[in-house]
Structure 1
Amino acid sequence: MPYSPKHKEKTRQRILQSAAKLFCAHGFDRVTLHQIMKQANMTHGAFYAHFSGKSSLYEAAMQFAASHAFWARDDKQTEGKETHLKAMVTRYLSWSRNDKEHPSPLEFLVTDAAHTEEKVRQAYQACFDSLVERLAGILKKRGSQDAETLAEETVVSLVGTVAIARSFTQPLQNDFLKRAQERIVNRLNSGFQKEDDSDLVKG
């Protein structure tokens, strides 16, 4: 008896969730299909019912992760205190404590951005662009003077900070992340009118 469309979609989502977690932690080259399917608690054969290969899965996993990122939540979830910009920065720079069900796309290894395989580079670029666009939208709603530029600067800073911090040992890592958080938040503050700062980026 063939599986229902609902069952097939649920299976696909399980694969994407597992792939996003592993790609976030290790990057494209260091993750195997076997690892992904084991993480999803599914047989290897089930993979090809949904994806043509590892590259196509990576592309879909990037889209999945970007659409489930913290600042990609719907408007009803982006009004509370927890989504203030400082909280967003803190969340991304605390990647080891991030949402395990929906890992941050900013955790992707930066090496994927310069991968030899064009499809991987394009998927990484699309994910990056999506994050910038989503953050710019939030900044515009909150009165940013130059939302697009500020959003791109913020995403670049977060990506670079996480990539570098991974090479540090404690307590150097915590100190580095703390300094980076302060710089990024201060830069975000500079993009708003002074009278709005206390409401928008205050912890």
Structure 2
Amino acid sequence: MPYTPQHKEQTRQRILQTAAKLFCTYGFDRVTLDQIMKKANMTRGAFYAHFSGKSSLYEAALQFAASTSFWARREKQSEDKETHIKALVTRYLSWTHNDNNSPSPLEFLVTDAAHKEEKVRKAYQACLDSLVERLTVILQKQGTTGDIKELAEETVVSLVGTVAIARSINHPLQEDFLKRAQNRIFNRINSAIKKPQTMSNNT
């Protein structure tokens, strides 16, 4: 009996979710197709019914992670602006969030950005560009002044670099390191946000 389109899509989504989690944690080179399919509790044969190879899966996994990440969900929610941006930064710099089932694409290891395979580099770059654009929109809504896209890019780079370094630091020092980075990012963003003008007492 052939599988229904709904079943095929559910299978594809399960592969993507598993691959995104593994790629986020270990990077492209350290993850094998066998590991992905075993983690997804599926056979390797099922993989080729949906993807042509590991690179095409990586590209699709980044797109999946970008659309289902905490950043994407928060962007759709209506909430206080200050809480919104703080939630995004705090969530990313929280060491425990790496176990979440919907990882942020920003967690993808920075080594993938300089990968020898062009398709991997392009997929990584496209993901980062998308996140910069998303953060630019958020900052615009906050009334940020100056070059907003540059600030968004600077924030993304700070987040990625901070976590990349934190992963190599001994655990007792990680929390303080991440907290200092968080404060620097908040200070930089807050200094670029327009302060509401108050009415003069003489008017």
Normalising by structure 1, we get a TM-score of 0.91
Q: Give 1:27-42 correspondences, 5 Å limit.
A: 27-42=27-42
Q: Give 1:17-166 correspondences, 5 Å limit.
A: 17-73=17-73, 76-79=76-79, 84-98=84-98, 100-145=100-145, 146-166=147-167
**After alignment, is 82-91 or 59-68 more displaced?**
82-91
**After alignment, is 119-128 or 138-147 more displaced?**
138-147
**After alignment, is 147-156 or 67-76 more displaced?**
67-76
User: 1:74, 1:174 → 2: CA distance?
Assistant: 24
The alpha carbon displacement at 1:93 in A equals 0.6
1:176 corresponds to 2:188: no
Amino acid at match of 1:189: N
Structure whose CA Rg is larger: 2
Aligned residues: 196
Normalising by structure 2, we get a TM-score of 0.91
| Residues 170-196 of structure 1: CA deviation (Å, up to 9, x unaligned) | 221111101000001111111211239
Counterpart in the other structure of 1:199: none
Change in 2 beyond 3 A, CA 1:102/1:80: farther
Identity of aligned residues (%): 76
* Structure 2 gap segments, 5+ residues each: 198-203
User: 1:140, 1:82 → 2: CA distance?
Assistant: 12
- Segments ≥4 residues shifted beyond 3 Å: 80-83
SS at match of 2:30: coil
**After alignment, is 91-100 or 136-145 more displaced?**
91-100
Change in 2 beyond 3 A, CA 1:62/1:21: same
**After alignment, is 72-81 or 44-53 more displaced?**
72-81
